[in-house]
Amino acid sequence: MSEPTAEETAPEPSFYDEIGGMSVIEGIVRRFYEGVATDRVLGPMYPAEDLADRSAERRLRMFLVQYWGGPTTYSQERGHPRLRMRHAPFIVNREAQAHWLALFRPALDGAGLTREQNTKFWGYITYAAEFMLNSDD
């Protein structure tokens, strides 16, 4: 028996691959950010320059790409995600969370994933949004 080749030992395709890779996550995050600037609660919260140059959009995109098993560009550029800490400068209360999720829901639905894939993606998003809460106001 010879050593198995790289292909024979390749891991299962990631969820990232399964849902269609970079372009699909790019689309979800683009649709989400289309609504951020004009949102009554989120608009004033997101740094205007990060919306203008789309760097905020890029960070969320690369984070989700990495989370679901795609390229690890996020951590190469930003280090460990430490998302709770990175949200500390912002007041993430129930109202902000509701607005965030209300924008993400249709952005995700627009990706045309299977019901199972959509449920899995949404499950992580709602879990993470709960974890990001940092204010009772």
Residues composing the chain: 137
Q: Is 30 in the site for ligand HEM (CB under 6 A)?
A: no
Q: Is 123 in the site for ligand HEM (CB under 6 A)?
A: no
Strands (E), 26-126: none
Residue linked to tokens 């007041």? 91
CB-based contacts of 37: which residues, under 8 Å, 6+ apart? 43, 46, 51
**DSSP-assigned states of every residue in 105-134:** HHHHHTT---HHHHHHHHHHHHHHHHHT--
In angstroms, what is the minimal distance from the CB of 119 to ligand HEM? 16
The answer to whether 75 and 66 have CB atoms below 8 angstroms apart is yes
In angstroms, what is the minimal distance from the CB of 33 to ligand HEM? 10
Choose, by CB under 6 A, the member of 30, 105, 122, 128 that binds ligand HEM.
128
Q: Is 121 in the site for ligand HEM (CB under 6 A)?
A: no
Residue 31 vs 87, nearer CB to ligand HEM:
87
Interface mask (CB under 6 A) for ligand HEM, residues 91-120, using x and -?
-x---xx--x--------------------
From the number of C-beta atoms within 10 Å of its C-beta (0-12, 13-18, 19+), residue 13 rates as exposed
Interface contacts to ligand HEM, rule CB under 6 A: 45-47, 50, 56, 59-60, 63, 78, 83, 86-87, 90, 92, 96-97, 100, 125, 128-129, 132
